Amino acid sequence: MATAKVLLIDDEKNMHYSFKRLFSNENIEFTSCYDGEEGLKAVTQGRWDLVITDVKMPLMDGLTLLQKAKSENPKVLFIVITAHGTTDTAIEAMKFGAYDYILKPFDNEKLKELVLRAVQESRNMRDVVEVSPVSEEISYDKDVIIGNSPQMQEIYKIIGQVANKEVTVLITGESGTGKELIARAVYSHSLRKDKIFSVVNCAAIPENLLESELFGHEKGAYTGAINLHIGKFEKTEGGTLFLDAIGGMSPKLQAKLLRVLQSGDFERIGGKDVIKSDVRIIAATNKQLQKEVELGNFREDLYYRLNVVNIHLPPLRERKNDVPILIDYFIKRFSQKYSKKINGMGDLAREKLLKYNFPGNIRELQNIINRAIVVSTSDILTEKEITFLAPKDSPVPFSQNIDELIERLFQEIIQLPDSQKEGVFPIIEKMLINKALIATKNNQVRAAKLLGISRNTLRNRIEKQEEE
């Protein structure tokens, strides 16, 4: 196989040395450039299997370089490297057409795997997604997407890939995961970013009012309709309409929404004129729509119309490595909001949060930090100020909600003297079995089901306890 030609653009000379050393046993020839302008010249004048560029560089930043290079040669593959992995950097890199991006400091094995894969795909002439640049500044006065976990990095890539495509997007995930933020990110990086962005919470508005809110009504269309009302589809003409909690929409409205998606037209309530609609739809739900389809609660044809591109937001408990940066972000945000000098969080408080499963996801963490800042009387948040109050409608199974209690009990047990530790767990088991039997009025089948074990296992445990 011919030697792969890779262009490395980075103002840090050590980076060039590290790359060449890491790939010394691979059939790759590296060419070095040390600023953006020099790099752009090399990109446009040479033939490369892969271009790797830093973001922060003198004379021209890496994202500007990427944009200009792609306008000249859309086929060239780029990997963007940065020490400042903000949401916007990731999304914009993908919008401008980057093959991928990676954060400093690198995991050498992951970097190597990525580069070799990119070189191979370049040689296979595979088309790449289209991508674009962004500010790396974080604003603390508004909600922003925070997270550098692998799950969130993949989401940023998807946003970058679909933002400029006129496709319907369905965002799924539990309550509190930040679905509206993702919708706004798609909008703000789209071709419609200079047009209106409208939000409708389909679950918060009664059915009769929701139809009017979406499609409008004529004067006299029904009792109380004393004036003409323009709905969101008309108000958002040319822009983006975000339909949150769409899983709760009634069958009647589902049919009307389907018509808009299929034909691009609708009528106001009580109206006869057909109105054309040029609106991009982004929908979101915390329900499993496919299951709702199977149950007959949601139209299958509408589901497929909405689910052209799915962006699934994982719950916070599945991306725990994002919790520390979220903590730091919310501390800075609410310290500014309340004009308090909070310099951070104590180790015990931080550990307490890291062990928690956040049934209310990011929204719950935000509220926890908000409250802690308000009640804090020192410059460091302590574990005493960290209190949990899970939402009543938490989608998290009860078994997950009690993880913290079990952990606390276990920690207390292991701190006991050895003489007291012995026999603790059999005692706990006996208590659980007795409680289950009492709750089921000694029905062993139901008690076994409650405990999550077979009836034979339960009978054996009872017999063993009686022998002891």
Instruction: Give the tokens for residue 392.
Output: 């009543």
Q: What is the DSSP letter of 435?
A: H
Please report which helix (H) or strand (E) contains residue 50, including its range: strand 50-54
Res 136 pLDDT > 50: no
Contact 269, 212 (CB under 8 A): yes
Topology, domain 168-312: Rossmann fold (3.40.50)
Domain 416-467 falls under CATH 1.10.1060: no
Contact 458, 444 (CB under 8 A): yes
- Provide the pLDDT for residue 133: 31
pLDDT digits (tens, 9 = 90+) for 338-361: 889 999 999 999 999 999 999 999
Tell which wins on pLDDT, 382 or 73.
382
Domain 316-401 falls under CATH 3.40.50.1260: no
- CATH 1.10.10, the chain: domain bounds: 416-467
- Provide the pLDDT for residue 408: 56
Res 465 pLDDT > 90: no
Rg for the chain, CA atoms, rounded: 28
Q: Which of 16-20, 146-150, 448-452, 463-467 has the highest mean pLDDT?
A: 16-20
pLDDT confidence of 142, banded at 50, 70, 90?
Answer: low
The dotted CATH code for 4-123 is 3.40.50.2300
Among 33-42, 127-136, 400-409, the range scoring the smallest mean pLDDT is: 127-136
Mean pLDDT score across all residues of the chain: 84
- Provide the pLDDT for residue 435: 82
Phi, psi of 394 (to 5 degrees): -55, 130
Please report which helix (H) or strand (E) contains residue 380, including its range: strand 380-381
pLDDT digits (tens, 9 = 90+) for 315-344: 999 999 899 989 999 999 999 988 899 999
Contact 131, 92 (CB under 8 A): yes
- CATH 3.40.50.2300, the chain: domain bounds: 4-123
- Provide the pLDDT for residue 414: 62
Select from 132, 111, 136, 133 the least CA-distant residue to 50. Answer: 111
Res 406 pLDDT > 80: no
- Provide the pLDDT for residue 208: 77
Beta carbons within 8 Å of 155's beta carbon, 6+ residues apart:
182, 311, 313
- Provide the pLDDT for residue 139: 53
- CATH 1.10.8.60, the chain: domain bounds: 316-401
Residue 301's CB: how many other CB atoms inside 10 A?
A: 13
pLDDT digits (tens, 9 = 90+) for 169-193: 999 999 999 999 999 999 988 989 9
Contact 60, 16 (CB under 8 A): no
Total-model pTM: 0.63
Among 169-173, 307-311, 429-433, the range scoring the smallest mean pLDDT is: 429-433
Tell which wins on pLDDT, 239 or 425.
239
CA–chain centroid gap for 208, Å, is 32
Percentage of the chain beyond pLDDT 90 is: 44
- Provide the pLDDT for residue 127: 29
Tell which wins on pLDDT, 397 or 300.
300
Euclidean distance between the first and final Cα of the chain, in Å? 72
Tell which wins on pLDDT, 441 or 29.
29
> 3-state SS string over 315-341?
CHHHCHHHHHHHHHHHHHHHHHHCCCC
Residue 348's CB: how many other CB atoms inside 10 A?
A: 11
pLDDT digits (tens, 9 = 90+) for 19-39: 999 998 888 999 999 999 999
Instruction: Give the tokens for residue 336.
Output: 């500014």
Tell which wins on pLDDT, 269 or 105.
269
pLDDT digits (tens, 9 = 90+) for 42-91: 998 888 889 999 988 889 999 999 989 887 777 788 999 877 556 677 77
Contact 277, 260 (CB under 8 A): yes
